[in-house]
Amino acid sequence: MIRDITFTQLSYIVALDDEKNFQRAADNNFVSQPALTMQVKKLEDNLGILLFNRTRKPLVTTEIGIKIVKQARFVLQEVKKIEELIGKFKEEMAGEVKIGIIPTVAPYLTPFFVHSFVAKYPKIKIEIVEAMTDDILVGLNRGEFDMGVIVTPYLKSEEFLQFPLYYEKFYAFIAPLHYLHGDDRIDLKRLDVDELWLLTEGNCFRNQVLNICQQDQSPPDAAFKYSSTSLESLKRIVTMENGLTILPELSLNKADKVFMSNVREFNPGPPYREVSLIVTRAFLKQNLIEKLRDEIISTVPPEMVSSPGSVVSID
């Protein structure tokens, strides 16, 4: 009969599966490597199976070990629910929340809400991490993030809940010497993806821009390439190379007249993207979700809150 399995042992094998290294797993759990090794071995002896193949470098989780670790993750998430239930029962806005936000949103949205939210709820500690959409989704499933802010609609899985925050226009950003700079509005039909400066592959904003242009291929090889995940870097390189790109509304510096002289709206009406707060269905802090969503919505420009009816796909 299997008995005396501890939550500590389960957390150790999850860490070991993640890190594939005893020392790193021990460091992540703030214990010594011998202590972690002993507990993992004790669990294996108790179960009567080998969870990890120690002869391989890096460490390899065995076939049965993969299944046990998966179940251990589930058990630990369920244990975490107990703590969340207690917090919800007390109706106290307190604790730590880690939010993954995509790079084309994080530096522009965060200043709108984070200080006012912390001022209202001083017992909440917020950690914000810039990450790609796929990394945020993985992090949510693994409990590394509590919430995410990404562009939707995106998710085909039913394991996430989405809470729309705002709808952001796209604008053209055109260097002064570009041949389209003299146009008051930019005709989407005149846009050629070959002329656009884009973010690196794997960035959802890149996919949106290609969809705006109704093209699904990458630009051809050029004499000069510049790869970046930063819109600020993209603005500078476009200016330097007398190029053209597409920017989301919150990234515009509307107080800078020189900058805005290079910004154009699209014709016909502007394309939009939907930005949403997402959590796993296992996340129980509904009160926190509602308060954070309300704070963000109340601080972004009010004209961005209403849905335009259609948004650009990022698939």
Mean pLDDT of the region 286-293: 90
Determine the Cα–Cα distance for residues 314 and 159; give it in Å rounded to an integer. Answer: 19
CATH 3.40.190.10 fits 168-272, yes or no: yes
Query: What would the pLDDT profile of 242-287 be if each residue is shown by its tens digit?
Result: 888 888 999 998 888 998 998 998 887 788 889 999 999 888 778 8
248 vs 192: which has the higher pLDDT: 248
The pLDDT of residue 117 is 93
Q: Is the pTM of this model over 0.75?
A: no
For 79-123, the pLDDT digits (tens) are: 888 877 776 655 667 788 999 999 989 999 999 999 999 999 998
CA 103, CA 258: separation in Å to the nearest integer? 24
pLDDT at 199: 63
Domains 91-166+273-304 and 168-272 equal at CATH topology level:
yes
Rg (CA), the chain: 24
The CATH code of the domain at 91-166+273-304 is 3.40.190.10
Domain-wise residue ranges, the chain: 7-87, 91-166+273-304, 168-272
pLDDT band per the 50, 70, 90 thresholds, residue 222: very low
pLDDT at residue 1, rounded to an integer: 53
Residue 241 CB coordination number (10 Å): 14
Architecture category of domain 7-87 in CATH: Orthogonal Bundle (1.10)
pLDDT in tens, 41-83: 999 999 999 999 999 888 999 999 999 999 999 999 988 888 7
Residue-wise pLDDT tens digits, 133-145:
889 999 999 989 9
Residue with tokens 């709206």: 265
